Chains A and B, each alone.
Chain A
């Protein structure tokens, strides 16, 4: 039996010390990805450091209006948190579009950020996968790649980032607080995940032993409407084929500020600045949304089975923007 040590920690310092800089050690919170991959023999940690006892279970509004989310807040708690529902409805919608109730009850905020791709070749220890085993090749490139990414791909890896929650965070904007053997630092959420490039095994900017302790959401855009649309094969418990998270504020029928992030189509949570530029100061109309959708997908690279994701993502974008605009208009109506 492949054994591993299991340690618990009561505070961040103890967790970081217990972990050390050893890359065979893994932090575990909900375990919904990690334990699955351990059973599949894909991840082989020698030691787990359980962070569930760390005092990171709170959601607080900071003095500057930002929302600080502790690493171990579960997806369920976060989705139903009154501050999240009131001020960050996009995040609540995205969380509730992900996984199932049972998984959301276990999965944590930081764990969701750290979740691994669902690429079946990554999950099959006997397949070639540069992400799992650098240099071994990529069986997905010419294999069954229907679920794979069209944005941010490289010739080494086309695996999709699976999270819904992260799409909302990419649109909202957030800062991650990290603590590791070398101390504490912050990093912008959208700089955290890496494109596969020629090092697909490096999925994020965490240094050895670093732990995500907090996720702090930017202050919400005033008066913005929000809509998260997830298109998938079935209506529940299924990863996105394409999803779009939109935040739009409108003044006099013109889009004042827009944020758009995409899921299911990219190798990392995908903020589309191209689409946002196409929306800025344009009328809140379908023709504008369509231009934004074109802009968002202009660099998409299809493979054999996933070309449909490009038009599908455009559809998701147009509809999400339409609904976000409706939401903004409703919000702005005098009550």
Chain B
């Protein structure tokens, strides 16, 4: 498809709003008569709340109410069904009972006239607990394995006997510490009841999901609930599904008859607003002497909380990343006394690919083979799980291009052999991958008499650039310039759109917007061929819409705004919808890429840094190469954090979260950022959708941590299988 706007570098259409402060984030909303909520977190992780000393707090300045188990209104749990789009992050309602399951679980919420008053009262509220012994501190602090989950298993061939017979094999256990999303903008809710309607501003990745979940929980007709999220300061997955603070805030607003806004503190956000769960993964790989995989076995355990069974599906990449006839995955789930985990960027797969890609490196070493060559020898030309061809796979090009730009052919495979002064260079690589998904979606487009076009969809822009790609789609199909396209997102009353998650928003939303554009143009043609209209009597199908105007075959051309004005119409609109179709039975859809990483290791002072990352990623068509590249570069930076720094520290004695702030939980700083060279291949995947786009939010994160771990081995000879790879691990003999 020859395009004018799609696939071209396009500055964010919402950039000016963000730079000038016009962008209305949830926290920015102040409404008349508004109160402030402040949750009171439990300071134990396992036990029972015995008493709350409410009276002194109620007497504090500005305090209006304190909600807790004793006085919280009766609500209903959401069924939390993905199919019905009412999924929540934690099915347990706030203050449902007096059991404490994790440090930071809300035991009460103070509501006061001012934020500072609510916070001070929350700090002052004295709670008495009965602390139970035997808090389970975390998966990696125990040998327990939890319960098996049959639904997460997978098997083809006979991996066990193939493993036994194979000449070369490895068998190792990898572990990843729990991580925090550390999104910039904290979870926040503003709830207002107007008559019998509930209006919620929330920083969410899914207005539609929250809208439906709120309706279930408050037992209301869906049309009486509106959820609004115009701008989101990122989420990385922890804002996909609603958390208890939103329920508590909406309930308080109803009880008090006044709007209530709750903004979590960073400490609360980290303790009770989601995390990537710890995982422990055993990888068994076997190959013949030529490096062809004979058997793959990936047995995983992840943790979840005692109040919500979140499963991080870490094993799936092992079933489809490489060609291998014998493969099996299994999954166990262990409940621990931590806040509930939830999806975090590339959920499951980034953890599984870490273990798999480290194991592949270890297998290459066992084979005395170049790790890139091992991957080439096991290239999958079709999806081994579905037996379907990949719709568009160019991983070989990614390997070639990234290896060439990195200079991989100059790699001396001997450990510690590449020295520069005090430093030793380590070079490692890994494959990157993320599944390509699409959801059903609806959209509406209006052509307006003032010459603008409005596109609306009930999805949201979490900072990734959805406003811009929707505007690009409209501009592409109408020829109307971007500055005359208005995009409305982030309201559940708009035509239902997807979650901003799973790298699905672009591929899901754009075809629906395109359908709506076409429907609006069809409507315009109807108007244009009416009596007393410019194209009276013409066959609508004979009219073409180009560069913002309708034209007939004789060359007569009328701009749509002139046409509408002439017909005394303010606008015409079209509704569109799109959904995955029969292509799902013909192809398997997945994106692939490759990361090459250089680390510098100074053994004299045990200092390690990532100095260079070269990546080639194939995501089909990058609708906006600027924001797409931004996603991959940001993911690389995040991956360095996963590899080297990030770990939620729970005290092993009582499962309390210790590093609950931006200072003690270490994310990558600017000074840690390497030279980054990202290439996005441009191979539109038209089997997937008409724009050929597969999505880009997650893929860049997958493969970074293992490429770092593999480079570290090359530099140091130390195979560190537990993330993050901190200094003390590098110092172990």
Contacts and interface: CB of A to CB of B under 8 A. Distances in A.
A235 B649 contact: no
Given A144-B651, A233-B727, A319 B604 contact: yes
Contacts of A229: 605
Contacts of B664: 118, 120
A120 B731 contact: no
B117 interface: yes
B97 interface: no
Chain B interface bracket (under 10, 10 to 19, 20 to 34, 35 or more): 35 or more
A41 interface: yes
A1 B658 contact: no
B585 interface: no
A235 B671 CA distance: 5
Contact of B609 (A142, A143, A235, A241): A235
Interface centre among B60, B658, B664 (most CB of A within 10 A): B658
* Interface of chain B, main secondary structure: loop
Nearest to B724: A233
A144 B605 contact: no
Given A234-B645, A237-B669, A126 B727 contact: no
B120 A238 contact: no
A236 B671 contact: yes
B129 to A, nearest CB: 11
Contacts of A312: 605-606, 727, 731
Contacts of A318: 604
Contacts of B668: 234
Nearest to B651: A143
Interface in B656-684: 656, 658-659, 663-664, 666, 668-672
Nearest to B265: A39
A235 B609 CA distance: 8
Contacts of A237: 663, 669, 671
B605 A235 contact: no
* Interface of chain A, main secondary structure: loop
Contacts of B644: 233-234
A241 B120 contact: no
A238 B123 contact: no
B672 A235 contact: yes
A237 B606 CA distance: 19
Nearest to B726: A233
A316 B656 CA distance: 33
A335 interface: no
B663 A118 contact: yes
Nearest to A286: B604
Which 5 pairs across A and B sit closest by C-beta, in order of nearness? A236-B671, A235-B671, A308-B728, A1-B120, A126-B43
B376 interface: no
Nearest to A232: B727
Given A144-B658, A234-B672, 18 more contacts: A1-B117, A2-B124, A120-B659, A121-B658, A124-B658, A142-B653, A143-B651, A144-B652, A233-B726, A234-B668, A236-B670, A236-B671, A237-B663, A238-B666, A238-B669, A312-B605, A315-B606, A318-B604
A236 B669 contact: yes
Interface string A226-267: 000101011111100100000000000000000000000000
Nearest to A147: B664
B50 interface: no
A1 B59 CA distance: 11
A194 to B, nearest CB: 25
A65 interface: no
A236 B119 CA distance: 31
B728 to A, nearest CB: 4
Given A1-B120, A143-B658, A315 B604 contact: yes
B651 A231 contact: no
Interface string B39-68: 000010000000000000000111000000
B116 interface: yes
A311 interface: yes
B607 interface: yes
29 contacts: A1-B62, A1-B114, A1-B116, A1-B120, A120-B658, A127-B656, A139-B651, A143-B651, A144-B649, A144-B652, A144-B658, A146-B728, A229-B605, A231-B605, A231-B607, A233-B666, A234-B666, A234-B668, A234-B671, A234-B672, A235-B671, A236-B669, A236-B670, A237-B669, A308-B727, A311-B606, A312-B727, A315-B605, A315-B606
A235 B610 CA distance: 11
B59 to A, nearest CB: 13
Contacts of A124: 658
Contacts of B671: 234-237
A238 B663 CA distance: 7
Nearest to B43: A126
Nearest to B730: A308
A234 B62 contact: no
Interface string B90-129: 0000000000000000000000001011011101100000
Contacts of A234: 644-645, 666, 668-669, 671-672
Contacts of B663: 118, 237
B500 to A, nearest CB: 29
Given A118-B664, A144-B649, A1 B60 contact: yes
B271 to A, nearest CB: 12
Contacts of B43: 126
Contacts of A233: 644-645, 666, 726-727
B319 to A, nearest CB: 35
A99 to B, nearest CB: 10
A291 to B, nearest CB: 16
Contacts of B609: 235
A316 B605 contact: yes
Interface string A282-297: 0000000000000000
Contact of B727 (A120, A121, A231): A231
Interface centre among A121, A229, A231, A235 (most CB of B within 10 A): A235
Contacts of B61: 1
A289 to B, nearest CB: 11
Contacts of B62: 1
A43 to B, nearest CB: 13
Contacts of B649: 144
B376 to A, nearest CB: 35
A237 to B, nearest CB: 5
Interface in B687-727: 726-727
A236 to B, nearest CB: 4
Contacts of B121: 1
Nearest to A316: B605
B731 A311 contact: yes
A319 to B, nearest CB: 5
Nearest to B61: A1
Interface string B621-647: 000000000000000000000001100
A131 B267 CA distance: 22
